[in-house]
Every structure is written in C-alpha cells, then in structure tokens.
Structure 1
Amino acid sequence: MINPNKPKIWYGGDYNPDQWEKPVWDEDLRMFKLSGIDVATLNVFAWAKNQPNEETYQFDWLDEMINKLHGDGVGVCLGTSTAAHPAWMAKKYPDVLRVDFDGRKRKFGGRHNSCPNSPTYRHYSVKMAEKLAERYKDHPALLIWHISNEYGGYCYCDNCAVAFQEWLKQRYGSLDTLNRAWNTSFWGHTFYEWDEIVPPSALSEEWRGWNGRTATNFQGISLDYCRFQSDSLLECYKLEYEVLKKHTPNIPITTNLMGAYKELDYQKWAKHLDVVSWDSYPGMDTPYSYTAMMHDLMRGLKDGQPFMLMEQTPSAQNWQPYNALKRPGVMRLWSYQAAARGADTIMFFQLRRSIGACEKYHGAVIDHAGHEHTRVFRECAALGSELHKLGDTLLDAHVKSKVGIIFDWDNWWAVELSSGPSIALKYVDEVYKYYDALYQLGITADMISVDTDFSKYDVIIAPVMYMVKPGVASRIEQYVEAGGSFITTFFSGIVNENDLVAPGGYPGELRKVLGIWAEEIDALLPEQSNSIELKSKLDGMKMSYSCNLLCDLIHSEGAEVIAEYGSDFYKGMPAVTVNRYGSGEAWYMATSPEGAFLQDWLKKLCADRGIQPALASLPSGVEATIREKDGQSYLFVLNHNADAMAVNVPAGYDLLTDRKLSGQTELPGRDLWIVKLD
C-alpha cells in the first residue's frame, strides 16, 4: 500500500492554487467534495513563489492550502517545486542554464531548463527540499513526496563536460581501457588526457540524421553520454530524496516518469523510487494495446509492484496536432485500464484548468466554466463515487504472467545510435509487435529487464537483443537448459555493452543457445517485403506469411528450420528456427513478420506450454486481465469499442454494478466489468 493513511485507490491530481486568487480556493474545495477528489498534488512548479530571491522563503500560501485540504479530508502529494528554477537564479548564476545540442547557451524560460551538473541548481534544489521537509514533516495531510516533475533533457555545457570526464574515470579507470572500449583507433580518436574528451553534440561527434534521429560517428561515446546524462539527472533526484528521507523516513517518495521515454534509463531510476509513478497521455489514435504496454512497462520497473497513475487528462490534451476530446466513457475506461494493469491511483493533470500559457486548453476536472455542470465534471464525479465504493479491495493486488518481454534502455540507445542497417528499425516498435500479438490473444506479458529472475517465466521474448551485457548470455543458456522457451529476433547478439561487435560472427554470445550463425543482414525498403514459408503444416497456422524491414541470412548449426524465405537470392534460407537446448528451446526470428504470423505462432507456442489467456475468445477491441490479492482473482474486462460486445464471462460478481455474471453477457460500449471470480 502506497500509504496506509489513505487506504483506497487515490483519486485526484495536480492542483495549482498558486495560480489563483483565494476566493477560487474555497469553490475548488467545494467541487473536490462533489467529485470525490481525495488527493491533490501541490507545489510542483511553485519555486519562484516559494523563493522570490536568494534569501527569502515564503510558504504561507502553502500552509493555508494544505490545512484547507486536510480539513476537507484531502491528502497531499507534495511537490518539491524544483522542476523549473526561478528567473533570479538564472540571472545571478548563469551556470544553472543548459547548453543545447547545437552548442547554444539557453536563456531563462520553459521548464526542464536546469543543467543537472550545475552546482547552483544542486545546492538550491536540495535546500528547497529540506525547507519543505522541515516544515511539513509532521503534517497529517502529507501522503507522499513528488520530486521535481517529468525529468528529462540533456545538457552539453562545460560543467557537464567536466562531470562527464569524471564519470568516465569512475566507469573505466584508465584511458587505455576507455580507448579500447570506444575503439578510438578508428579515425585517430585516441585520447591521452581526460580533458581531451568533450560531450558528443552537433559541435563534435553527432548530427541530426534521417527523420531527425541522432546520428553519431562514435556509438560508444554517444552511448556513454546517454548513460551519463541519465545518471546526472538521477543524481539530482537522489540528492533531494536523501534530504527528504532524513526528515520523513516513513513518507514514500516518487517522481513522475513518462512511459517509454528514451532519454532516461527508468530501470536504473526505479531502484531509487519508493513507488513508480507515471504520466499517461495516449492520443485518440494510440492503439489500446500500446497504452497497455506502457502500463505494464511501468509496473515492471519494480518487479510487478503496483504503481501510481500520476497524470492523465480528463478530456483533451493540448500539445498534439489535433486535440480530440475523450468521448463519453473513455476517461473512465482508460482509468480502469490503468487499474487493471497495476495502478493503485487514478490522478489527473489538472484539477482546475489554467487561464493562460501553453496548457490553458489542456483538460481539467474543473473547466474554464468554473462550475460542476459540465460533461467532464459529471464523469469525474461518477468515477470518484465508484472508487470510493471499491475502497481498498484492489489495493496491492498483483498482475500475474508467465510471459516476460525484455525491454532494455541501453539496448534501445545502442540500436538507434547504430549507423545501420535501416533507419526504419525502431526498437520500441519491434518490442510492441510481440506485445500486441499477445494482447490480441488475451495473454498478459510482464515487461522485464535483463536483470530479472528469468525462472519466473515459461516464455521470455527479447526482440532485437542487439546488445548482450556481461553474464546475460549465460543466464539465458541456464534458463533454456532448465526448460524455458527463449525467443529473440534479427539484429540480436551483435555487440557488447560498449557497442563493440562480438568477433566470430553473429549472434555472438547467443550463437550457442540459438544454434545458428548469421552471415549477412538485408535491409528492405519500406515498399519491399519477403515471405516466411513454413516447411510443414503447423496447427492453426497458414503456410505463408509476409515479412519486411530486415532479413538476416542465417545458417543452422543444429537448430531446426521451421520456415524459410520465399523470395530473393536467399530464397530457401532459414527465416525461423528453433534449437532444442537442454530441457528447453531457443527460437530465432530472422526477420520482422506480419502481425498475423506472430498471433498464430504465439497462440500455439503458449498453448503448448499451458499458458492461457485471461479470457478465452475475446471479441476484437475487448481487453481482459486479472489482478490477484490474498488468493482472490479479479477479472477486468474492458470494451474499447463504441458498440456493445457479447463476452463469455466466467461466473463471478461485478464490483461496479453489484450483479452476478456468468456465460454469454453483453458488455456495453466503452464500459467494463471488474469481476470478483467465484
């Protein structure tokens, strides 16, 4: 449980009373009661209000608001206000300002505008966090700390250059080791002094390549800079974390993450969060399965522990090209989709819509109309009532899965910093293809790291495992030998953790367990395709499927060839193989197949291993997953379609409608059940 002082699914969101005059505050509190809001996130961007100059701190407004909220039974998620430094700080201490990719020193403005290696920023952000901790450590309204906000953005200033050099000293120990790791003999890049090393930017090793994607001359340098910048921002978070813990050891601490956000290694960050929280902002055309994958990715960061949905919009977003409204029922449905996959809070940005600046058209529980007589408010109030009714029933319930999909930030960076083989190769897209195939089958998958205990899973899928970190190949061999099913794909086993190619042929350290070697990689143009031709009929599968993107030209070294390419000069070469290894098997998908192949093949593979969907025979657009608590299973069934769908539901009791369900039952459009199974 996130905090036992609020033993229910928290309902609330970001509230900015510092943007409003006091008469508005009481009206907001009145409407919070009407809507069931019981948690408010305060003080996220109030640094300039809290500290108008270097010497002065003023928290009277915050005292008053926290006391008002507490008096109305509303708990506080308290921000440290360090997400954007004040203007006076930028004016007096320019080291706080970032330098961008093109080498330009920023002026004051925007947010995420602080250099993570600025001594000024680190000093004043920690001081602010300590002032808040000292002041509110014993306040009964305080439920959780919220450090900064949506950390992100890289800096290339002189402070970062020096800090990068020190980071490299810690990582490599000597320049000889670094030069070998980066292969600096290429293009005469050998370094003889640490201060010869500069950040990789548009002024040095990098440039904007095709489609705006970062390109680099030296992948090893750029890869380490990604790690370093992620670590630098993490260090800023940790400094605030430590001072908060000193004063409030029993209050949990988080910062809001952003799903598959490329710049920060969230698997490393999660070790320093007491609870994972994240901001979910799918577009109206985002596949429901992709949003589900993001929830599962966030749940997987702390080995399946429940997470916080820190932000979503009640209605429209404001930054997309076309900001459509959430249709009636969608806000509720998507809120429960988060709960179905492990969320123990349902929170919004924002509770009251601001009247100026770039988020004035972003949705809110309380709209510009300023009263409760709006569609969005009525929907929010109805959801608040339901969550109150559910109480603590679902808190700390876990999602169980026998399939794990490996997702790795280092690998993501390395794949997309690569100077080949195809600009169309996008790591997250390839991971999503496998996740989506399982989602369509109704099979839940955990999103796991390479450090996860593999033995918990019957099937592990590692799409595009380009980078093989130390010890991972041997752990995969042990997993398969003990009876596990391992699946990986084209462009796997190519490099080590420094992005250096493993000599001896692809797939490097994975060659033994896979029983194949790859000779060449063919990159297909977007309009090109090949085909996967099965060598023999498999139950439930066609004999031929299309494939595209990349085609590895592989040779069997003991693996059974399941399918071959259907055309081009490599017609008849293996496209899908399986290697029996110990008590298990290792599959190699040498190309990127159409979704139909993955669904048909994974359906058979999972069935052969006794892995069943949460609900059999799901209609298209209907999602099902199970959370378990104290031996009791709760089946979530969500209809993303506008029209009603007939669903064959097992016997149980719907917690939302207070009725028994069993057998073929009609689920209205954009509606759901939470079935306590008999």
Structure 2
Amino acid sequence: MITRVEGLLYGADYNPEQWPESVWKQDANLMRDAGVNMVTVGVFSWARLQPAEDEWDFAWLDRLMDLFHSAGIAVDLATATASPPAWFVRQYPETLPVTADGVRLEFGSRQHYCPSSPIYRAAATRLARAIAERYGEHPALALWHIHNEYGDHVTECFCDVSAEDFRRWLRERYGQDIEQLNFAWGTEFWSQRYSDFSQIEPPRRAPGPVNPGQLLDWRRFSSDALLACFLTERAVLKEVTPQVPVTTNFMSMMKDLDYWKWAAHEDLVSDDAYPDPADPSAHVLAAMNYDLMRSLGGGRPWLLMEQAPSAVSWRAVNVPKTPDQKRLWSLQTVARGADGVMHFQWRASRAGAEKFHSALLPHGGTGSRGWRDTVRLGEDLGKLAEVAGSRIESAVAIVLDWNSWWALEAEDHPSARVRLKEQILSWYSVLHRWNHAVDFVPPDADLAGYKVVLVPNLYAVSTQDAARLTDYVYGGGYLAVGFFSGIVDELDHIHQGTDAAGGGYPGPLKEVLGVAVDEWWPIPDGETVGVSFTADEETAKAARKPDNELPPKPAARRWSEWLGTTTARTVAQYAEGPLKGRPAVTCNEFGAGRAWYVSCDLGSDVEKVLGEAVRPAVVWPSLASTLAWSGVEVVCRGSESHLYYFLLNHGDTSVDLGSSVPFGAVNLLTGSRPTHVAAKTVVVLKVER
C-alpha cells in the first residue's frame, strides 16, 4: 500500500474554506456515495490557518478532520505553503519574486514567493510544524502533501537575496575556488573573468547572449533552491511524524526541476496530469509521463494527485472530456502503475480564477452528467482494488537527464528547433504502438537489467556516464542513440581528444557507436531530406516494382549530419541534397552488443531503426504483441500470484480479441471473459501466474 488506505485511492482536492460549513457534511456523504476514500485538504489554506503572524485558527480544520474520519475518508493533508497570505507579503514585501528584467511580481495570484528567501522559508517551516504537531496523530491523516506544484508560475527569482544564495551555492559547488568557476564557465571568452565570487550576479537581462555555463549553473541552482524549500518542510514532518509518508505533486515531464534529485526525497511520487481532450494523441504523451512517474519511484506504485474530471479553465479553448474519455484516461493511469486517481477538484468553485474548471461534483450537482461519471469511476476503482501494489516490468529503458536537457536547449546552438521532450516522445510513441513497457533512467543508472537502452538525445554526457553506456553494449546490450549526442561534458564544454587530431563528435560515444560526425547540417523550417534504408532498397529490387508503386521514403526534418563511419555499418543513407549518399543511420557491432546511431530527426520514421534494435532483443507478452498497432494500449501489472492486463482501446472501432485471451482470464470490471474491446473502453484481465 502506498498509504495505510486499502485498495486504490480515489478522491480530489477539497477546499472547504470556499464553502459554508453547512455544506461540509453534505460533501462528506456524497463522497462516500461516490466511493471516495481520500481527499486532499489545505493546499491553499495559509490565510485561513494563520490570519496574522502570531494568530492561528485551527478550529475549523479540527472539525473537518473529525468529519472525514467519521465518514471513513482519509486525508492527504497539505502544509498550505504554496501561496503566502496578504498580511505576509505586505509585512515582508522583499519575499516577492523578481523577474530577470527586475520586475517584482505582485500579490493576487499564487506561488508568489522567492524560493531563496529565508523569511519565506522560516514562515513556511513554522506553518508546517504547527500543522504537523496538531494533526500528526489524527486518525484521518494518511499522507503529507508538502506545498503544491513547485515551479508552477515561478521557477526562478532574480532578486538580491537570490543573488546571494546563488553565490553561496557556487562557492559550495566550486570549493570556494574562483578559478574553478572561471574554468567551468569559460570566462576567458568575452572578458568575463571573475576575481571574486562577490562579483557574480544572476543571469539577469543582458545586452547579448548570457554565458552558457552561468545559465546552466543557474538552472541547477534554481531547481535546488526550490528543493531546499521542500526539504526544510520535509525535515519538520519527518521529525514530528516519521510514520506518515510524504509527497509533493510533480507536473509530469517538467523541464525546470530535476525530478531525479527530487524523487529521492519522496516516500511516494505523485503527479498532476492534464492531457488535452482535443488532442487525439494526448494519451501517448500521458503514458510517457506516467512511465516517468513510475520510474522516478524506482518502479514503485505512484499516485495521480490531480487530473481534471472534464474541462480545465486555462487553455485558450477548454474542451471537455467525454464520459468514455474520462474513464479511459483515468484507468490508463492505473494501468501504468498508479495506485490512486485523484482530481482537482471535488466541488466546482463559485468564484476565483478556476470557477470554470470541472469538478467531481459539478455546478449542476448530483443531477449532472459529470456526477454520474464520478460515481461510475468510483465503482470501477473499487472493482480493481486488488491491483494495488502490483508492478510493471520492463526490458527497455530511455535515458533522461535534466542537466543535458538544460544544456541542449540553451541559446546559440546549430538549431533552436531541437527540443528534448519532442525527441523523446517520437521514440517513445513507437514503443507505445508496439505495447512495450518502458522505464526511464538517469545516465548513471545500472543498466544491467535492460535488453535495450534508448537515448533519443544526450547532448551533455560525462566521460563516466559514456563509459557506462559503452560497457553496457560491450556486455551484450542493445543501444540506440539519437543525433547531437555526446557533444559536451557536464560543464557544457566540447569534449576534447587526447591527441593533436582533436576529439570530434560524438565525443566519448565515438567508439561504441563507431562513427564520426564531421559537421551538423540543420534542416530549414518546412523542408525535409529523404532517407533510404538499405533493407527497403533490397526489398524493392527483389520485388522489381517501379518507384511510383513503392511506399514513400522516410524523411528527416529539423536536423541532419555529415556522418562518417569508422567501424559501423550503414543502415540508411541520405537520398538527396548535399549529404546524398552519406550515412544517415548506422549500426556498430561492439563486444557482445550492438549500437545504433540516428544522425537525423526521423519523426515517426524512427520506427524502422527501433524495430531493428528492439524486436530481436525483447520478448513481448503474447497479448501485447497480438494487439500491437491495433489502437489498443496493453499494459501488464504483476503481483506474486497474478498478472493484470489492461487493454485500453483509444480507437473508434471495436477490436476483436479472438483466441488471444489467456485461459481462465476474466475482466475484473465485468466478471466475465471478454471477446472484444469496444471503442473507447477498457478491459482488465486477471490471469493467474
């Protein structure tokens, strides 16, 4: 169990301060009717809990906690520190955040604080302690919810307090040695050399490009500054209530925060996910985010802390979810390792910026379609209670590194069009279509348990991490690496060779990949470059078909490279343009393994490369392979005694299961043996091991 609550968690954020107390009991009864077993309370309650610096009001929360306990509903209790109250910012205006342009942001929204402010941190810690000491032994308490969505709205602050904190962080990083910093930042360029740490400021708005080493360290620092806020509160909660698990809700694959570092300090990884109902492929991006959440926790079950019951209120056009979509997407999170489905929010707000945001209890009340969906989902999760605690096993890993992400998307690169999340998604989408489970790993992970490791991009890589990838292939692993990888080290310095001939690209990955990149050839917007795969050409010759009867050739967009081979064989070559005839995709036999290099952005055509890398190495579960390419997403969770196959049909037509259903398997949602998966529906098969 991820908390002391049995089965799968189901519930939502509850904001009682928005409602008269007479509504609370009605809400608790309706929650029980809907199958809700946990609610998140207190996320934005700082102003109500602490009306003034030395004034506290816990009486209303005492009554609410007692009410939920009597109703059999557990509480995920927030520390309420995400939005300081008006009295605080007026008394301490210096705690408000400042932009790179020097503008101090005002009160009136949320997340209005400087992460480095000792005044803010002290006040937040004081509030967390007061809440922990009061409710640490309350029988309704099941989980601590620190802050809320760190990095939402404000990911960095450029005020003088942040500047001093940045300098402190740099002194620790570089051992008080300014010469180490000068080397790391390459300050001989443009006469940027420092003689003392006191001369350093945050990367505020400047006349031209800001030092990339400074920007990279600033991003590291900004993530760490917010993490320090989390850790100060966590320390208090662990001191007072070591037995209660702690979480803070992530925001899917978010660039600004290094979630590998953050997740190491969480008892439970939780996520807020808001896929767009208007996007027909939104479920693929969602699946990728959910696999990341599971991976951040080392494979343990995670918690969907927030999703919209239907429409959100913050997109330009806020399309609602259909009833089937709501059910399908909710159960997708369980399929991919979540042991709970929570929402924002329980009761739709009557005022404020999110009054048009959907809720489990809509403005229309219990007579609405939304309420019927709420009850139905509660029933579904109740039927799937035994799935809680089961895990997903994967033979395929994707490397994700935040430091490389930050460095890759810096300014003054060969192309500003390369975006890491897009590259990962294009590769991940292929695995999703094939129904392969995927783990995400950092570059320093132990890769021994994986048959295939995919690296859509690793622009920045240390020599140590490159050696790990090299050893992995030499020992028999299959590795596929995308373009513009192995270029710089962890300082964002170009990798250098050890002789007069220089290093060249892809740096410390050259040996394992068996290639040498001479020059990058970014592709202008709107243009593509054809790519011919050797296997396709051989098939075409054997079939003796004219060109107009052959399928369209794969095409590169955004990026290509002048690539040469040293020990690798050519898998595909550029078919046109200045690179015509040169290798585009290669494969290198190295030790007992193989390593592929993809020198261009192939989009969905990367399937041809991944097919060669993944299919020979990974054994599919038969059900997953049978339904691959059918539009049915298949995910298997396993316990010691059973396997649970989730079959999620995202398509518009029913899919026949034929004889692929294992003997004795039943659909937990219906209790019977299924023959098909209807459009936009879910089947959950329980199979004995």
Q: Equivalent of 1:160, from 158, 162, 171?
A: 162
**Aligned pairs (5 A) from 1:565-604:** 565-595=574-604, 597-604=605-612
Gaps of 5+ in 2: 497-502, 541-550
Q: 1:673 matched to which residue of 2?
A: 683
Q: 1:151 matched to which residue of 2?
A: 150
1:12–1:347 CA contact under 8 A, matched in 2: yes
1:643 paired with 2:638, answer no
Q: Equivalent of 1:284, from 273, 277, 292?
A: 277
Q: 1:70 matched to which residue of 2?
A: 69
SS in 2 for 1:336: helix
Take 1:320 and 1:222, find their aligned partners in 2: how far apart are those partners?
A: 30
Q: 1:209 matched to which residue of 2?
A: none
Q: Equivalent of 1:201, from 197, 200, 204?
A: 204
By how many angstroms is 1:389 displaced?
2.8
1:563–1:576 CA contact under 8 A, matched in 2: yes
Q: 1:302 matched to which residue of 2?
A: 297
- Residue type matched to 1:646 in 2? D
Q: 2:522 matched to which residue of 1?
A: 523
Take 2:538 and 2:577, find their aligned partners in 1: how far apart are those partners?
A: 28
By how many angstroms is 1:411 displaced?
1.1
- Residue type matched to 2:328 in 1? L
By how many angstroms is 1:31 displaced?
1.1
SS in 2 for 1:600: helix
Take 1:536 and 1:47, find their aligned partners in 2: how far apart are those partners?
A: 64
- Residue type matched to 1:492 in 2? S
Take 1:461 and 1:268, find their aligned partners in 2: how far apart are those partners?
A: 21
How many residues align? The count is 661
1:328 paired with 2:323, answer yes
Identify if the C-alpha distance between structure 1 residues 540 and 677 changes in structure 2 by more than 3 Å, giving closer, same or farther. farther
- Residue type matched to 1:160 in 2? S
- Residue type matched to 1:677 in 2? V
CA shift digits 1:84-133 (9 cap, x unpaired):
00111111112211111211112222111111111111111000000011
Q: 1:387 matched to which residue of 2?
A: 381
1:533 paired with 2:543, answer no
Q: Equivalent of 1:627, from 611, 616, 637?
A: 637
CA shift digits 1:605-659 (9 cap, x unpaired):
3221143262424354321111111142110000112432323442211111101
Q: 1:548 matched to which residue of 2?
A: 557
By how many angstroms is 1:536 displaced?
4.0
SS in 1 for 2:102: coil
1:545–1:594 CA contact under 8 A, matched in 2: no
SS in 2 for 1:453: coil
Q: TM-score, normalised on structure 1?
A: 0.95
SS in 2 for 1:334: helix
1:441–1:599 CA contact under 8 A, matched in 2: no
Q: 1:188 matched to which residue of 2?
A: 191
1:522–1:551 CA contact under 8 A, matched in 2: yes
Q: Equivalent of 2:421, from 428, 432, 441?
A: 428
- Residue type matched to 1:222 in 2? L
Q: Equivalent of 1:316, from 286, 311, 318?
A: 311
Take 2:98 and 2:67, find their aligned partners in 1: how far apart are those partners?
A: 42
Q: 2:54 matched to which residue of 1?
A: 55
Which structure's residues are more often strand, by fraction? 1
Q: 2:14 matched to which residue of 1?
A: 15
1:130 paired with 2:147, answer no
Q: 2:433 matched to which residue of 1?
A: 440
Between the aligned residues of both structures, percent identity stands at: 37
Q: 1:110 matched to which residue of 2?
A: 109
Identify if the C-alpha distance between structure 1 residues 33 and 540 changes in structure 2 by more than 3 Å, giving closer, same or farther. farther
CA shift digits 1:215-258 (9 cap, x unpaired):
x4311101110110100000000000000011110100000000
Identify if the C-alpha distance between structure 1 residues 20 and 540 changes in structure 2 by more than 3 Å, giving closer, same or farther. farther
Identify if the C-alpha distance between structure 1 residues 94 and 306 changes in structure 2 by more than 3 Å, giving closer, same or farther. same
CA shift digits 1:159-204 (9 cap, x unpaired):
11001001001111211011011100110000011111110122x3
By how many angstroms is 1:599 displaced?
2.4
Gaps of 5+ in 1: 207-215
Q: 2:545 matched to which residue of 1?
A: none
- Residue type matched to 1:658 in 2? G
Take 1:389 and 1:523, find their aligned partners in 2: how far apart are those partners?
A: 52
Aligned-residue CA RMSD (Å): 1.6
2:627–2:634 CA contact under 8 A, matched in 1: no
Q: Equivalent of 2:352, from 357, 361, 381?
A: 357
- Residue type matched to 2:21 in 1? K
1:454–1:479 CA contact under 8 A, matched in 2: yes
By how many angstroms is 1:592 displaced?
1.0
**Aligned pairs (5 A) from 1:363-512:** 363-369=358-364, 371-391=365-385, 393-503=386-496, 504-512=503-511
Take 1:619 and 1:117, find their aligned partners in 2: how far apart are those partners?
A: 49
Q: 2:568 matched to which residue of 1?
A: 559
By how many angstroms is 1:205 displaced?
7.2
Take 1:332 and 1:68, find their aligned partners in 2: how far apart are those partners?
A: 29
2:474–2:592 CA contact under 8 A, matched in 1: yes
1:539–1:604 CA contact under 8 A, matched in 2: no
1:618–1:647 CA contact under 8 A, matched in 2: no
Take 1:510 and 1:266, find their aligned partners in 2: how far apart are those partners?
A: 25
By how many angstroms is 1:386 displaced?
2.2
By how many angstroms is 1:408 displaced?
1.3
- Residue type matched to 1:169 in 2? R
Identify if the C-alpha distance between structure 1 residues 99 and 478 changes in structure 2 by more than 3 Å, giving closer, same or farther. same
SS in 2 for 1:368: coil
Q: 1:653 matched to which residue of 2?
A: 666
Identify if the C-alpha distance between structure 1 residues 500 and 619 changes in structure 2 by more than 3 Å, giving closer, same or farther. closer
Deviates more, 1:35-44 or 1:608-617: 608-617
Take 1:217 and 1:509, find their aligned partners in 2: how far apart are those partners?
A: 27
Take 2:170 and 2:561, find their aligned partners in 1: how far apart are those partners?
A: 35
- Residue type matched to 1:2 in 2? I
Take 2:369 and 2:534, find their aligned partners in 1: how far apart are those partners?
A: 57
SS in 2 for 1:598: helix
Take 1:32 and 1:7, find their aligned partners in 2: how far apart are those partners?
A: 17
Take 2:145 and 2:525, find their aligned partners in 1: how far apart are those partners?
A: 44
Take 1:600 and 1:566, find their aligned partners in 2: how far apart are those partners?
A: 16
- Residue type matched to 1:590 in 2? S
- Residue type matched to 1:462 in 2? V
1:536–1:543 CA contact under 8 A, matched in 2: no
Q: 1:212 matched to which residue of 2?
A: none
Q: Equivalent of 2:334, from 313, 318, 339?
A: 339
Deviates more, 1:42-51 or 1:554-563: 554-563
